[in-house]
Chains A and B, each alone.
Chain A
Amino acid sequence: MIFSLAVYGSPYTYQSSDSAYQFARELLNQGHEIYRIFFYHDGVYNANRLTIPPQDEINISSRWSSFAGENNIELVVCVASALRRGVLDDSESRRYEKDTHNIEQNFTLSGLGQLIDAGIVSDRLVTFGS
């Protein structure tokens, strides 16, 4: 079956992004396909590569990034939600004349249309709220 996930919760505050990750990993273990993982609302903070958790805790953004890289999965961050919350890629950072960008590797900024597209293409769209 083809799945997509929508993640609304910020990491380290809510379990939702951990649950989404574990669900995604298990989907692949069971032979399903993941079309896209879409980060909306506070979920955009999952893409912040500047997070520094204590050494005995998981680095959530880099865990997403390795998972996506190893399994060739699209991680899409809603651009409007991300800009509001200060999650920028290189081109947005230049456009708004900021001094840095902070999006983790393997995440891309794109529009909310990508969430709707994920709903259309996938057999199941599963939401992980806050």
Chain B
Amino acid sequence: MKSFLIITRRSPYGTSYGKEALDAVLMASAFVPVSLLFLDDGVFQIKQHQDADCIEIKDYSPTFAVLEQYDVKNIYVSASSLQHRGLTEKDLVLDVEVISDARIANLLDTNAVVLSF
């Protein structure tokens, strides 16, 4: 079975890429083993204490909590992306694995299909 890696690289709300990447993860999980990587500004999607009410956009960060029920167990965050943005694991809504750039290169290498949003 081919494995999929979905990379989400943009902040939430500014564009709908983050939301539509999450939809792709949920759909892929029904068919194939899928890993999710938060990279670059994508790390902001799982930052705690989001309040999107004041901009009248739906806060979809709670949806990340259901990923485990969809059998998406491999959820990674780039250590350097967090560090560059002054964030740590404690700022995140999800229990994730923080990984080095070398591990990211390895993920890109070992997954058959990579979808980047």
Contacts from A to B (Cβ < 8 Å)? 6, 8, 40-41, 80-81, 111-113, 115-117, 119-120, 125, 127, 129
Q: Is the CB of A116 within 8 A of B20?
A: no
Q: Is the CB of A120 within 8 A of B116?
A: no
Q: Is the CB of B113 within 8 A of A112?
A: no
Main secondary structure of the interface of B (DSSP, over half): mixed
Q: Is the CB of A116 within 8 A of B27?
A: yes
For the complex, give the distance between the alpha carbons of A8 and B24 in Å: 13
Pick the contact of A120 from B2, B16, B20, B27 — CB < 8 Å?
B2
Specify which chain A residues have a CB less than 8 angstroms from the CB of B116 in the assembled complex.
127, 129
24 example contacts (A-B, Cβ-Cβ < 8 A) are as follows: A6-B115, A8-B117, A40-B20, A40-B24, A41-B17, A41-B117, A80-B23, A81-B20, A111-B27, A112-B24, A112-B27, A113-B27, A115-B24, A115-B27, A116-B28, A116-B31, A116-B32, A119-B2, A119-B32, A119-B112, A120-B2, A120-B31, A120-B32, A125-B113
Shortest CB–CB separation between residue A1 and chain B, in angstroms? 14
Q: Is B30 an interface residue (CB 8 A)?
A: yes
* A-B pairs with beta carbons under 8 A, tally: 44
Q: How large is the interface on B (under 10, 10 to 19, 20 to 34, 35 or more residues)?
A: 10 to 19
For the complex, give the distance between the alpha carbons of A70 and B16 in Å: 34
Contacts from B to A (Cβ < 8 Å)? 2, 4, 16-17, 20, 23-24, 27-28, 30-32, 112-113, 115-117
Q: Is the CB of A41 within 8 A of B30?
A: no
For the complex, give the distance between the alpha carbons of A80 and B26 in Å: 14
Pick the contact of B20 from A41, A113, A117, A119 — CB < 8 Å?
A41
Shortest CB–CB separation between residue A75 and chain B, in angstroms? 19
For the complex, give the distance between the alpha carbons of A113 and B28 in Å: 7
**Closest A residue by C-beta to B34:** A116
For the complex, give the distance between the alpha carbons of A120 and B30 in Å: 13
Q: Is the CB of B16 within 8 A of A41?
A: yes
**Closest B residue by C-beta to A114:** B27
For the complex, give the distance between the alpha carbons of A111 and B27 in Å: 9
Specify which chain B residues have a CB less than 8 angstroms from the CB of A112 in the assembled complex.
23-24, 27
Shortest CB–CB separation between residue A104 and chain B, in angstroms? 22
